[in-house]
Structure 1
Amino acid sequence: MPKNLFEIISEVMNIPISQINDESGAGTIEEWDSFNMYVLLNEIEKEFNIKFLLEEALEIKNVSDFKKQLEKHGVNVNG
């Protein structure tokens, strides 16, 4: 079964899913640093079989931004 976005974030950041919401990002999750952001991008690309453009990756500041970018790539983030 494919992982959902929150599961991937939880694993990469090593935090409980209950601490993640759409506004979660570098300002709210201590573990969300530049290295973990890179790892997170990589894991999401692998899980959903997509590739973010550099411009897209630079726009991502929180979970909501990830959802917007995933939707642009045709990924249903609500299912």
Structure 2
Amino acid sequence: IMNATVTDNLIMGGTYSIQLRNGRGRLVMRDNKLVDGSWVYGPVDSECAKIDWSGNSLVTIDEQYRVTSTVGPLPCAG
């Protein structure tokens, strides 16, 4: 990956819902919402020291994919 900016998304599912690894250049993960408990192994598996990570949160949604509540902040992990 050369420069990646991931902002303002609703994310759900996957083994790890967010994986940002082996990137070069500027890596930004900001203001995304991850559906709580939607992953298989964990919410995040990323190279945190290389990423501008802020404002990401765990949320719940309704049947129309509208955010119904914020569970809490989503820290980077890896």
Of structures 1 and 2, the larger Rg is shown by 2
Same fold (TM over 0.5): no
Considering fraction of residues, name the structure with more helix: 1
Considering fraction of residues, name the structure with more strand: 2
Length-normalised TM-score, structure 1 = 0.23
Length-normalised TM-score, structure 2 = 0.23
